[in-house]
Structure 1
């Protein structure tokens, strides 16, 4: 870490700073207000904003007859974007733009919801036939008869006599499945079954799903169609880039084209979110043709197998291991047919949609940032066509394993940035804190950092609408029009008291992100995983066995093992997969849980992947197989006979793999770590305390960087941590930007043991440098909470209370004074129970003469909510740790005299909003302590 790198760490540039999701009311804005809000975000320490054309909210100055000018891509919108770009570019404040208004993706270029370029579903109607049938092809009730629908295929299959009922029907005989589409005449068919059994006749109908983008009243596009993606980019070319000067601003800004999570439903008949489960599949007109070309067999006879009820609807079920409503009796075939269907959708999404958008964006000096989850697709393959992959805290439920569904692709595709939309929590509008354990933003972000994330986009901030007309006027209340924050937290702009302290938090995030974007990631393990997760499957927040053992890991898939970088090299004297990148020390072929039963099951494994594992093991890479040996291939080869041949080949290749010297088979995850120890695969970070830590590592020539995090919400980590690396250990303080070498115990195999104390939810940054450019001074030890100390109970509290002003966007400030002989939450003080705002606590103290190191005088604030500043004798302390809340104050203290101590605390707006929202509950806030000064240690 050079001197200039340390300077960049102290004052990170805009590129390393967190970004803000910025919700805009269409073009109903003022250029001066746009400029003011951009300047505030830049001053508050944000590096950029993601612009979203939310709902159009007319203001009272605009006549209804003029509303048409204010739409997305219209003259007023383009003028506002010009103003935004002209304000942002001189500040080096980068603007990102959603590909269309709001979400899911829609474009004014397609306004007819019956257009074939709209998102579609495949519906299935059935009728039981014995002997001959002449009549109408069955149409299901899921079809909207008032809109266009199209016959896609007609098939039949014989029911198993005496067979079990799965889903909607008795199981079907796979070998009898037949395509009858060629026998249709319009909407009728004449057909005679080949024997006397009971046959199920299927009619498959495609229909646009009727899903609308509410921002502009346009239908959602087909995400598998190149024509649909071309319509989106074509609208940009013809309307947003119609003015060459505005186009030049977009290109000079060099921001990202952004797409949110894919919130598609195969049908809207069951509703949008938490939909009534229906047997309708996501569809696109080219699926059958593309499936045949890509998979090598015809899907048409097997279409009944894809209809897992609710699977293709948001919130209706993620059961990709579930049965179809019309399953075949040969159960081993059904899941593989569905896998082939999902794989085809994945490839169409990647090749037609993502690639089209990325190439267009790159052609205009922009990158594509995309949340590619939300459909039944395989996540890692699609990320090959995304410049900046993004995850989210909401959809993945703050699960580190959920974030790892993409981290392996980020690392093996060598993407520099792995972004996260952080801060959307249902029901936490104006309640979410920066520092708390109850979905605090840093609690969420630290979990992401631990799993490979290195860029935060806060959700979010609304434009300060000055007025609203029409039905929006009734929603226009103090503290202003919250376009999303009243439901999904949070409003992180100036309307909350904590905004006064934003810079301290954004500086901390920026310094953390600076470290996490240096060099290349280094990850201990690659865990093989092939599974279609459906609609972003969360995995829980409890620590996994691998995390408890101290290992870092990514999930990798068959396609990732085929990337050019996935070859065996050497890192730190040991074999490593992708040695110049993540340098995985071993591959774990683990079990996974069935999404329906919850039972552990072996991973599906293509024969080609087994061959790849044999090749890697032959080059010395350790591989551990867990639980049942993989015996199921991923794909269906077109017939049961060929499937049995494939699975026989897989078992033979697994036997060959197990015969390799560096391969182990263990019964369960608990035995993995003994096998890894035998193979000399140990974590890069080892903790010597009963409490586990999470970590992330970056490698740069001459330097190893470590991010360490205590995920506990109530226990402090206090012990030694062993870090892999040779050189000088340096503690990097992300709160104040300092970098100090520290004393360390040296261990064999190039490991440094450092003492570490981390409060619940606290993180730490370390670097191990080959050379230290700033001298030999060591960081002074901090007190452990013993020795001389003073507890301060009596305080004078002055509160600046925030309450509604004369207008919805104006805030009245009320002055309240309280004398305290004990620190308590404002909710326990009658004068402050329903008050939000800024509190300033003042007290005086004397300390005895002090002959020791001034750095050992520590102020411990105890409990605080939410953010704070500290002043000692009128001097503000920069970079106070908002999580650990233990602050060195020795250089500010005068001994043998009176010292004044002031703590300024900012709250959320929750308690002040209780008066207008009876559903809100009091939220503890203020300085709750105990406040203690430790010294003479």
Structure 2
């Protein structure tokens, strides 16, 4: 059955019109889903708010928060930026305005008061820049430490007698956007060891790989006295390496400062691998920032304490007490294995080994997955979880929750850590596909973390370049990935900043998008998008997420890469996400009626895809799943290697049982090409069947609560019509929810059979749609129809009458759910004569060009009016003489003749063409409802008059073209753009109304 929804769920008929919004104004069936039309603040997207430092105008700060309210946002993430922690032209004032100073405390209170006054909520960064450090005296317990080493070569049989090798504190730091370590402080010896060399291989002039004989590894710590060692190397091997291992502070700043006092001196990265670092940060807040007034305001309007992605470095990530933790948890002393831990896999983003020499054990692959490296990462991860839990507890004591970007960049088990955090967050800059997001959200769902946030919108295409459609597309990808709370990146303080020219304060030196504020021409037109996003988030935060499949995934260290292509599963309607062996220990990890976690995601099958590693406990859980009857698909072999040094016997026993026993619910297949066949043989069916190759790029998201089910569809492929069959309880009827307008319309075209509802959806590329299934009065529906029937709706009087729209003048036939057949004749000659087919042309164009004022050091734009007169051909401004480099707002006006207004037998549809950035329209001075930017068509029947009509269309651009034209002198923080090529090599952006614009009528027939 074909439907068209409020979000233009429709098929394209012969006339080329996809409808849905057109009949919504006359066919709104009330509020079946309460709260959808005007979502509460808690469901609305927020903005990361960049405060340059505490030297800001308080009234402007209040105004910025008020502007967020006017826009329709739900709140802000208060981030004291301090030039990404690198300081700048305002450093001379840090003695007064540094993070943690009374002036900053005052600004925080002002921001909280403004948040309260505007009915918003605030997340508070734990520190300057990214929240990963606080002011402190250097070398204070709770600050970050690392492990370094010194080494010396000893010949076999030779005697070493003297001072241990000095620490090599210069190593391969990953700099650029990360603070370098400052080389002060002592090196604390924690152990000495030696190992015999088996082989040496040099991959290039600077990198050497040395294999060590495992049997030769020896802990020499007990022989060290006063930093000296006397030791004779055995004669068994020709050459040994002697190591001295030292713990030292990383001395990495998270924010620069001036050395006048501890707080003005900036912030230092804290220990992220024990409770001590979190306690140090909490203590700083309690002593310096949490006044009685601020504590009360946080209780009233605060939402989260927050930390950004970890951009912290270490030669080897470490924490005081790590040795004791390791021995307690792993059961052995790690000293003699320390040399092999200085590995690429344990570095920041797993990019490069800390030293130019990498050691590994002879006879084992140098793949970063030796049992000793795994034991190290397990232990490090336990410390990180302690750090997270400490912040969770502290935030709760303040009446808040904790949120952070969990684990990635560091050698940690992200999937194990996500469930600890109340509101786990990822980011679109790193998690670029839905599959990558599934790896993050699966553990959150199992851990009952319903709200999953994303820092969204950062793209390295140059500041002021982001269009609204490109931002909304990122939202759609996040929705498809199971993420349901957008933290938009970001909004800037709109006051003047020292060293910044027009168009104002610009973080990230003009590299990253986006700098949203009233300084952008599009800002005043963004409210429709914010409302649209809020309605989507409202739906996606209802109840629990439901998934059909769960993939087993061990991924430590974590890298943001796709694991499974997914096109085969999507084409058949299957949804999936991931869980790690650590997640198998969750209380929710139970099977009932062959469904895993039935009260949560409700997984119908487990898939293991070429996985090698598993813990002993997870292998036991795997057997329990099989015994409970959960369908399991194994691609290749089962994981048979224990993670770390413990549990191999248990793993071997359990995996052997799964291989030997004839489980009817386990399917072993050779490749992923056979997954669908295996699922079919195991009778595993998706909740939503899409059933066509076109659906390989159709993402479906299912949410379920006690009274309703919700289906969001996102078409990432070309425009297509999809037949959807959804499992729906008897008594629930489908409603089309229009996220652009808030309207809710009971579907009149669908087929019900055996606990399922079938309907058709037509979606443009990039477009979404929402269908809700909830209790309601059962009415007669259309179950089959002619191709030219492109939409159907119930009458607005509450009766069972159905209206259909036809895309041409031909006859049509329909079959109703009561068995009756309805015939619609060919359009009459008068209907054909009265049909509207109006091409609107001769547009008068006025541009409001946003340019710097006479004083270019001031951030405010001057808006120069350019009257370009009649435009016979609609084209981008960049192709209009004199308007190539214009940024601003274009106002298009035109008149057109309507010989007669539409009757009850037709509707008039305004088609506006592709939307390049924003669009807002008026007909006869009446503003039209919000327009779907992916299919800009709307019913204007109620707006037309017989005779002369006027139309006005306003479109806004980005600021990119205006900045590109002035890239040689724009500045932020005293310097120009860091990557001018983002502007000089880029084409002028295309903006404007490009049409064609027309009004056409569709037949409307009452059955």
Q: Calculate the TM-score normalised by the size of structure 2.
A: 0.83
Give 1:451 deviation, angstroms: 1.4
Structure 2 counterpart of 1:936: 1002
Secondary structure of the residue aligned to 1:69 is helix
Summarize the alignment of residues 369-408 of structure 1 with structure 2, pairs less than 5 Å apart. Answer: 369-372=403-406, 373-396=408-431, 398-408=432-442
Q: Deviations over 1:18-51 (max 9, x none)?
A: 0010011221122221211111101101000000
Considering Cα pairs closer than 8 Å and 6+ residues apart, tell me whether 1 or 2 has the greater RCO: 2
Give 1:628 deviation, angstroms: 2.7
Inter-partner Cα distance in structure 2 for 1:709 and 1:833? 34
**Match for residue 653 of structure 1 among 633, 650, 657:** 657
Structure 2 counterpart of 1:597: none
Contact 1:698 1:706 (8 Å CA) reproduced? yes
Aligned Cα RMSD in Å? Answer: 2.9
Structure 2 counterpart of 1:77: 104
Secondary structure of the residue aligned to 1:827 is helix
Q: Deviations over 1:360-394 (max 9, x none)?
A: 11011111011012211111222233110001001
Summarize the alignment of residues 95-244 of structure 1 with structure 2, pairs less than 5 Å apart. Answer: 95-103=122-130, 105-108=132-135, 110-112=136-138, 114-129=139-154, 130-131=156-157, 132-139=159-166, 141-143=168-170, 146-160=184-198, 168-197=208-237, 198-216=239-257, 217-241=266-290, 243-244=291-292
Summarize the alignment of residues 823-902 of structure 1 with structure 2, pairs less than 5 Å apart. Answer: 823-847=874-898, 849=900, 856-894=907-945, 896-902=946-952
Contact 1:154 1:204 (8 Å CA) reproduced? yes
Q: Closer, same or farther in 2 for the Cα pair 1:562/1:334, shift >3 Å?
A: closer
Summarize the alignment of residues 467-478 of structure 1 with structure 2, pairs less than 5 Å apart. Answer: 467-468=497-498, 473=499, 476-478=500-502
Structure 1 counterpart of 2:531: 507
Q: Closer, same or farther in 2 for the Cα pair 1:15/1:912, shift >3 Å?
A: same
Give 1:634 deviation, angstroms: 1.4
Structure 2 counterpart of 1:456: 486
**Match for residue 374 of structure 2 among 322, 339, 349:** 339
Inter-partner Cα distance in structure 2 for 1:540 and 1:825? 41
Give 1:587 deviation, angstroms: 0.8
Contact 2:738 2:769 (8 Å CA) reproduced? yes
Q: Deviations over 1:621-673 (max 9, x none)?
A: 11111123322221213xxxx85x455325413315x6222111111111111
Structure 2 counterpart of 1:302: 337
Inter-partner Cα distance in structure 1 for 2:667 and 2:622? 13
**Match for residue 53 of structure 2 among 20, 23, 26:** 26
Inter-partner Cα distance in structure 1 for 2:318 and 2:390? 19
Inter-partner Cα distance in structure 2 for 1:193 and 1:2? 86
Q: Closer, same or farther in 2 for the Cα pair 1:832/1:81, shift >3 Å?
A: same
Inter-partner Cα distance in structure 2 for 1:913 and 1:525? 48
Between stretches 734-743 and 817-826, larger displacement belongs to 817-826
**Match for residue 298 of structure 2 among 227, 230, 250:** 250
Give 1:931 deviation, angstroms: 2.4
Inter-partner Cα distance in structure 2 for 1:38 and 1:855? 46
Q: Closer, same or farther in 2 for the Cα pair 1:634/1:50, shift >3 Å?
A: same
Q: Closer, same or farther in 2 for the Cα pair 1:753/1:4, shift >3 Å?
A: closer
Q: Closer, same or farther in 2 for the Cα pair 1:841/1:14, shift >3 Å?
A: same
Inter-partner Cα distance in structure 1 for 2:373 and 2:109? 47
- 1:795 matched to 2:843? The reply is yes
Inter-partner Cα distance in structure 2 for 1:121 and 1:326? 18
Q: Deviations over 1:527-554 (max 9, x none)?
A: 11011144x5243997654334432111
Q: Closer, same or farther in 2 for the Cα pair 1:737/1:549, shift >3 Å?
A: same
Structure 1 counterpart of 2:643: 634
Q: Deviations over 1:569-620 (max 9, x none)?
A: 24xxxx31111111111111113xxxxxxxxxx3312232222122122222
Contact 2:208 2:356 (8 Å CA) reproduced? no
Inter-partner Cα distance in structure 1 for 2:467 and 2:606? 39
Inter-partner Cα distance in structure 2 for 1:26 and 1:779? 60
- 1:433 matched to 2:467? The reply is yes
Secondary structure of the residue aligned to 1:736 is coil
Inter-partner Cα distance in structure 2 for 1:915 and 1:13? 41
Give 1:111 deviation, angstroms: 3.2
Give 1:4 deviation, angstroms: 6.5
Contact 2:133 2:254 (8 Å CA) reproduced? yes
Give 1:164 deviation, angstroms: 6.8
Summarize the alignment of residues 738-817 of structure 1 with structure 2, pairs less than 5 Å apart. Answer: 738-746=743-751, 748-771=753-776, 775=798, 789-807=837-855, 808-817=858-867
Between stretches 129-138 and 45-54, larger displacement belongs to 129-138
Q: Closer, same or farther in 2 for the Cα pair 1:783/1:219, shift >3 Å?
A: farther
Contact 1:102 1:215 (8 Å CA) reproduced? no
Structure 2 counterpart of 1:664: 667
Q: Deviations over 1:285-311 (max 9, x none)?
A: 221111111122222222222222374
Give 1:909 deviation, angstroms: 0.4
Give 1:181 deviation, angstroms: 1.1
Structure 1 counterpart of 2:630: 621
Secondary structure of the residue aligned to 2:641 is coil
Contact 1:174 1:330 (8 Å CA) reproduced? no
Structure 1 counterpart of 2:562: 539
Aligned residues: 879
Q: Closer, same or farther in 2 for the Cα pair 1:307/1:295, shift >3 Å?
A: same
Summarize the alignment of residues 346-365 of structure 1 with structure 2, pairs less than 5 Å apart. Answer: 346-351=381-386, 353-365=387-399
Contact 2:197 2:212 (8 Å CA) reproduced? yes
Summarize the alignment of residues 263-342 of structure 1 with structure 2, pairs less than 5 Å apart. Answer: 263-266=311-314, 280-309=315-344, 311-314=346-349, 316=351, 325-331=358-364, 335-342=370-377
Which residues of structure 2 form unaligned runs of 5+? Answer: 1-27, 171-181, 258-265, 779-795, 811-835, 969-979
Inter-partner Cα distance in structure 2 for 1:728 and 1:849? 38
Contact 1:213 1:220 (8 Å CA) reproduced? yes
Secondary structure of the residue aligned to 1:484 is helix
Between stretches 616-625 and 187-196, larger displacement belongs to 187-196
**Match for residue 707 of structure 2 among 702, 711, 715:** 702
Q: Deviations over 1:441-481 (max 9, x none)?
A: 1111111111110100000111123352xxxx2xx111111
Give 1:687 deviation, angstroms: 2.2
Structure 1 counterpart of 2:510: 486
Q: Closer, same or farther in 2 for the Cα pair 1:293/1:823, shift >3 Å?
A: same
- 1:46 matched to 2:86? The reply is no
Secondary structure of the residue aligned to 2:316 is strand
Contact 1:328 1:334 (8 Å CA) reproduced? no
Structure 1 counterpart of 2:540: 516
Contact 2:184 2:251 (8 Å CA) reproduced? no
Contact 1:157 1:176 (8 Å CA) reproduced? yes
Inter-partner Cα distance in structure 2 for 1:324 and 1:4? 66
Contact 1:35 1:84 (8 Å CA) reproduced? yes
Q: Closer, same or farther in 2 for the Cα pair 1:366/1:802, shift >3 Å?
A: same
Inter-partner Cα distance in structure 1 for 2:564 and 2:641? 30
- 1:411 matched to 2:445? The reply is yes
Structure 1 counterpart of 2:954: 904
Secondary structure of the residue aligned to 1:497 is coil
- 1:525 matched to 2:544? The reply is no
Inter-partner Cα distance in structure 2 for 1:537 and 1:315? 11
Give 1:776 deviation, angstroms: 5.6
Which residues of structure 1 form unaligned runs of 5+? Answer: 267-279, 592-601
Q: Deviations over 1:145-188 (max 9, x none)?
A: 6542222221112233x687797344212222111111112333
Summarize the alignment of residues 684-703 of structure 1 with structure 2, pairs less than 5 Å apart. Answer: 684-692=687-695, 693-703=698-708
Contact 1:740 1:777 (8 Å CA) reproduced? no
- 1:716 matched to 2:719? The reply is yes
- 1:93 matched to 2:97? The reply is no
- 1:924 matched to 2:980? The reply is no
Inter-partner Cα distance in structure 1 for 2:552 and 2:838? 54
Secondary structure of the residue aligned to 2:626 is helix
Inter-partner Cα distance in structure 2 for 1:419 and 1:881? 24
Inter-partner Cα distance in structure 2 for 1:852 and 1:2? 22
